[in-house]
Each structure stands twice: as C-alpha cells, then as structure tokens.
Chain A
Amino acid sequence: MKRLHLLLLLLAIALDTAAQNGKKISFNARAGVSIGAAAPAGIPASIRKIESYKPGFQPSLEAGLGYRFSTHFGFATGLRWEQKGMTTDARVKAYYTTFNEAGNDRHESVTGYFTGRVKTRVRSSYLTLPLHLTYHNNSSFTFKAGGFVSLLLDNRFEGDARDGYIRNETPVGEREDIDAASYDFSEHVRKINAGVEIGTDYRINSGLFASANLNYALTPLMEPGFRSIDFGMHHIYLNLGIGYRFH
C-alpha cells in the first residue's frame, strides 16, 4: 500500500504541473462497488440450477487522470484498487472438479465427476490500470471505452461440495458419496488479468459525477493448465460509483 500512496502522490504532482498548462488535463477520485461474477462464457450443461447468488460487498477506489486532445475526444487512465467477487451455490450434475485441502498439491486430492451441490466463493483484489478513449459531447454524459490490466494483490477461490457423490476420475469410476468436501483453488488464479471496459460518467455538478463501468476480463480467471474445473471462467463486473473531478 505504501507504493500505492507514492504513485498517487506522483500522479497528483503530475496533474498539478499539467493543470498549470491549461484545462486539457483533469484529475478525479472515485469510489464504487462492483457486482458481477466469475462466470463461464455460457453456463455449462453440468450446472443444472443456480440456487443462490450473492454479489457481496466489492468496493473499489480509483484515482483517475483525463486528457482531452480534441473537442470531443480524450484519454483517461488512472490507478484503481478493486475487489471482485461473489458467492454462488449451484446444483450440478457430472461436474468435473477436484476436492483438495487448502494449500495441498494435487497429489492428495480426489478428482472426478461430482453430482450434488457446489458452493463457490471468489474474492480477488487487484491493482488495476485502466486506459480509455473518452467521448465528450454537450450533454452531461461522458462515454468511455477501452481496456484494463490488473495485478492480483490478494485472492481467495474456494468452496465446498455437499449432498452428492463423486465418480473417481471418470463418469464410470468408483462412486463415493460426499456429505461435505472442500476445495481451494486460490493458488491457481492468474496473477495478471486483462480485459475490456466500457462506461459512462454522468456529471451531477461541476465536481461530482456518477459513473457506471462494465468490464469483462479477456484472460481466463484461472492459470493456463488448470484442469480442475473444465470450463473457462472470466470476471464480468459492473462497477457503480461516485466521483469528484478536480479542475
């Protein structure tokens, strides 16, 4: 976090210097909450029903920098600390997975096809660098489209399975009833996440603005080679926030 403070300070100084040179550069600070999921592109057939979905409280804080290079267009960047997460409870049928103990290597685990209930808890915090092209017109809205790169700071990807059974290795392997078994894939979450983002800011007054951003990670959530869940998952989140623009 010390490093983050230093970066913010440098950004503020840069802004201060730039601000002296005209009105092209603006600085803003924004706080928001995210709601979304680490979701497969299409829900695989092995997931039969989503019994519950809880977005949880996923805050974000951002220090932003805008640069207008023409009447209508500009760039926006910044530094964002954000948390992405959710808790889901699903009914699955023949869902390929691994049960292990937290921190275990994969040699001490059961892998196979699980039928029953699976709870998944995801919470990742990232330091994100967004880069947007911005469009400004005479309305109160600013439109943004671009991408982001995120560095994983802290992470949890875990869950448990219950009320079901697993078939060892293949769908015709030994059947084992499961009352409760847990898994922890936290170590297999990618350290770098990148994707696309679109959004809009709505100016409330000269300083305050409300914003909405939709971001979708193009990189899968899990590391390459991760096989314990046989479908790719991507972060997809809507961030709603309030910001203040310093002129």
Chain B
Amino acid sequence: MLGTFLTVSGCIKPEAENMEADILVMTLPDSVLISPPSITNTSVTAFVNFSKLNIKAVAPQFSITEGASIQPASGTPQDFSKPVIYTVTSQDGHWTKQYRVSLLQNLAPDNFMFENWTVNPDGNYYVPYEVVEAEHQNIWASGNSGFSLIAPEKQPEAYPTQRSTDAEQGQYAAYLETKSTGALGALVGMPIAPGNLFLGSFDGAKALTAPLEATIFGVPFNKKPLRLTGFYKYVSGGPVTDKTGKPVTPERQDVCDIYAVLFKATADKPFLNGANVLTDPSVVAIAQLASGTPTSGVGYQAFNLTFNYKSEVNQDDLAAFAYKIAIVFSSSKNGAVFEGAVGSKLYIDDVKIVTQ
C-alpha cells in the first residue's frame, strides 16, 4: 500500500498550460517615457513625452505570461490618443483579461475637484480620475484593491475609499473611512484598513506581504509647488487600536493625515512608497497638515500647507520631468502600519497645488 501511495505520488501529471494572462512589462524607448509604466491587474499607465513621439502610432512592446498571447500584437503601432484596450489570452486558451493601456501626454493637473469617479472592475470600488484636455488620467490610487481581497464586502460603498455627495464644491468629494477588515484581516495582522487616496498606484500583490511597499507614490510634475490648499472635514473614530486590534497605550485619539511630497526621481528609484515617502533622501519638499485632529462643526474647513524645501529645485531637471509629486490623504495617520480607529472619516474636496 505504501508502494501504491508512492506510485500514485510518483504520477505527477505533466505541467498544465498556464491559466494566467498578465502583462508583465511594457517597453517603450527610454527617450519617450517620462516615468516607468505602472501596471495593475487590468491597466497600464505611462506618462510619455509627447514631443518625442507620434501619439497616433505608438508601438509598445509587451512581455506577458509565458505562453499567453496578446491582441493587438506587441510591437504594432496603435493610436494612443485615447486608451487602447489590449486583450491577453492565457496559454490554455480558457482565460482572457482586458487591459486599458493609457499613454498620458499631458502632465498631471494641479487642481483636483474629485468630480469624476469610475468603478474598478476587479473589486467593484470607486476610483477618481482626472480629465486633462479630454484625456482620462487614472493617477489616483487607494488601498481598496487590498481591501477587496481580505474583506467580504463587495459594494462600492463598503470600501474605505469612495466618493461622497457631501461636497464642498460640485457634486462629489473624496470620502475616506477607516474600516474593519474582519476576521481574516485580523488573522494577517491587518485588522483595519484606513481610507487612503494618493497620486500614484497600488501594487495589490504586495498588499498582504509588504503593505508599505504596496502604496507607490508619485506622478511626474514640472512646476515648483509652493502650497497645497483644499478643504477637508474630519471625524475621528476614537481611540487608536494597533495591528493586533488592541487599544494602544497610552490611549490616543485617531487623527487624519494630509501631505504632499516633491521628490527627485531616479532610474533606480522612480517612485517612493509608504515606507520612505517622508524620509527618503530624494525628498525635496514636504507640505503636511500639522495636526489631523477633528474639524469643528459640520462643515468643511480650509487647509493651506506650505511646501518646506530641504534642497533647491534644479529648474532644468524640473523642465525635464525629473521631479515627481505625491499627494496623500489618509483617514488614520498611522493607518499604513494598521494603527487607527474604525469609523474615522475624512472628506476631501477642491485640492490645488499652488505653483511658482
């Protein structure tokens, strides 16, 4: 019988064909890219230097899951004046995934009204986008995709980061609420999920293993920022709990965080992340809310934060897109390390980067 078992275990079947259908890398000539492409499960976004290419005929190269195929084919010219949908089919032919590939010619805007929201198909949650000269820019990201994996809820309104009709201007504001992640979240040492929203992208794959590195900060910026202004409203969820879900000692009330960071990107370190965004040597200037305590009354309160420069900005580098900016909002200041209070609510609207 042991023989039988060993025989059975010896009968490992030939490896099945791959079922995955991922875009792993998108390649464009270096001179064209302002910043490395950011790739999520269903989108690829890259800022390109429009003066160096004909946007109506760009031929990006894709490397994809082994054995998979991609349509339109890698290396064929496409009109990227609007996003191009690529379909990747798995090696076994049973699974397909669509990617929205955007080459953004325009730089990110410097004012953000949070009026445009779309629902991410992977997790059924809201993401704001910007419209610059009719170009849709998916430059905002949140931890929602991580939350979608460990929390049972599947309604957009159940996610930590969403929109609200309680707005300072226009129809919508960004609404961030610290949520409980339920039993599974507690199990992996992530009992809460702060509402967060930032300029950059979220690497969902790292959400459970290296959550600080999952938040990838920064979009190209070619002006010198002086102040970050906007309106916010904050309701604290109460005493902060730690990553085991227990109240921290000494007890303290949850506070929010609003900050913007200008940093000089390098080829080695094109982006910052949750672990180094405020401390990395590449940081040039920081504008940060001094105290994230609750706002008084029921209405919005203005904030006006000055960028404090640690080093001079090189104008030539600035013009050459060497700098990036990150704006970060969080409903729990230490939410990135899973400290916060469930029920903390941060509303954000009408944000502007005042530049020189």
B136 at the interface (CB under 8 A from A): no
Stretch of B90-98, B248-256, B285-293 on the interface side: B90-98
Map CB proximity to B onto A97-130 as digits: 1 under 8 Å, 0 otherwise. Answer: 0011100100111100100000000000000000
Contacts of B183 in A (CB 8 A): 101, 104, 108
Contact A174 B41 (CB under 8 A): yes
Known contacts A110-B184, A181-B188: does B4 contact A236 (CB below 8 Å)? Answer: yes
Decide yes or no whether B52 CB sits under 8 A from chain A.
no
What is the bound-complex CA distance between A174 and B22, given in angstroms? 10
A207 at the interface (CB under 8 A from B): no
Q: Is the CB of A43 within 8 A of B8?
A: yes
Q: By the criterion CB–CB under 8 Å, are A100 and B149 in contact?
A: no
Given A35-B1, A172-B96, A214-B1, CB of A100 within 8 Å of CB of B184: yes
Tell me which residues across on chain A come within 8 A of B15, comparing CB atoms: 45, 48, 93
Binds B, one of A23-31, A139-147, A162-170: A162-170
- Chain B contacts with A in 1-42, Cβ cutoff 8 A: 1-2, 4-5, 8-9, 11-16, 18-22, 41
C-alpha spacing A99/B208, complex, angstroms: 13
Q: Please state if B152 and A107 are interface contacts (CB–CB under 8 Å).
A: yes
The complex places the Cα of A109 from the Cα of B182 at a distance, in Å, of 10
Q: Is the CB of B2 within 8 A of A178?
A: no
Binds A, one of B73-81, B126-134, B199-207, B328-336: B199-207
Q: Are the CB atoms of A174 and B184 closer together than 8 Å?
A: no
CA distance A93 to B11 in the complex (A): 16
Whether the pair A43, B208 counts as a contact (CB closer than 8 A) is: no
| Bound complex: CA A100 to CA B186 (Å) | 11
Interchain CA distance A214-B18 in the complex, whole Å = 37
In the complex where A172-B20, A175-B205 touch, is A109 in contact with B4 (Cβ < 8 A)?
no
Interface size class of B (residues with CB under 8 A): 35 or more
Tell me if B16 and A49 are in contact (CB < 8 A): no
Closest B residue to A171 using CB positions = B19
Please tell me if A94 contacts chain B, counting CB pairs below 8 Å: yes
In the bound assembly, the distance between CA atoms of A86 and B284 in angstroms comes to 58
Task: Report chain B residues within 8 Å CB of A49.
Answer: 12
Write the chain B residue with the least CB distance to A214: B1
Q: Is B209 among interface residues, defined by CB-CB distance under 8 A?
A: yes
- Residue B148 lies at the interface, judged by CB distance under 8 Å to chain A: yes
A172 and B12 form a contact (CB under 8 A): no
Q: Which residues of chain B are within 8 angstroms of A214 by Cβ–Cβ distance?
A: 1, 4
Among residues of B, the one whose C-beta sits closest to the C-beta of A215 is B1
Residues on B with beta carbons closer than 8 Å to the beta carbon of A104: 183-184
B41's partner among A100, A173, A182 (CB-CB below 8 A) is A173
Chain B contacts for A47, CB-based, 8 A: 12
Task: Let me know if A224 is at the binding interface, CB within 8 A.
Answer: no
A5-47 interface code vs B (CB 8 A; 1 in, 0 out): 0000000000000000000000000000001110100111111
Q: How far is the CA of A168 from the CA of B207 in the complex (A)?
A: 13
The 8 A CB mask of A50-83 against B (1 = contact, 0 = none) is 1001000000000000000000000000000000
Chain A residues lying within 8 Å of B19, measured Cβ to Cβ, are 94, 113, 171-172
Indicate which residue in A35, A43, A177 contacts B11 across the interface (CB closer than 8 Å): A43
Nearest-neighbour CB distance to chain A for B161, whole angstroms, equals 16
Chain A positions within 8 Å of B8 at CB level: 37, 39, 42-43
Contacts of B145 in A (CB 8 A): 174
Is B294 interfacial (CB-CB < 8 Å)?
no
Return chain B residues, CB-CB under 8 Å to A50: 9, 12
| CB-based contact B90/A174 at 8 Å | no
Q: Is the CB of A42 within 8 A of B11?
A: yes
- Distance of A107 Cα from B158 Cα, bound (Å): 15
Chain B residue at minimal CB-CB distance from A175: B205
Most buried by A among B145, B149, B150: B149
Q: For chain A, residues 170 to 223, give those with C-beta under 8 angstroms from any C-beta of chain B.
A: 170-179, 181-182, 214
B270 proximity list for chain A (CB < 8 A): none
A171/B95 contact (C-beta < 8 A), A107-B152, A165-B205, A236-B1 known: yes
Residue of A nearest to B184 (CB): A108
Task: Kindly state the separation between the CA atoms of A99 and B16 in the bound complex, as whole angstroms.
Answer: 23
Per-residue contact bits, chain B 116-158, to A (CB 8 Å; 1 contact, 0 not):
0000001100000000000000000000011011101000000
| Pairwise interchain contact B152-A39, C-beta atoms closer than 8 A | no
Given A43-B9, A101-B184, A174-B41, A108 and B16 touching (CB < 8 A)? Answer: no
Note all chain A residues with C-beta closer than 8 A to B11: 42-43
* Contact A45:B41 (CB < 8 A) given known A39-B8, A174-B145, A176-B149: no
B187, CB-defined interface residue at 8 Å: yes
A131 at the interface (CB under 8 A from B): no
| 9 contacting pairs across A/B (C-beta < 8 A) | A37-B8, A43-B9, A53-B9, A93-B15, A101-B184, A104-B183, A165-B205, A179-B208, A181-B208
The 9 closest A-B pairs by CB, nearest first: A238-B1, A171-B19, A45-B16, A172-B97, A45-B13, A177-B209, A107-B152, A175-B205, A108-B183
A binding-site residues for B, Cβ under 8 Å: 35-37, 39, 42-50, 53, 93-94, 99-101, 104, 107-110, 113, 165, 167-168, 170-179, 181-182, 214, 236-238
Assuming A50-B9, A94-B19, A178-B208, what are 9 further A-B pairs, CB within 8 angstroms?
A: A53-B5, A94-B16, A101-B183, A165-B205, A171-B19, A174-B122, A174-B123, A181-B188, A237-B1
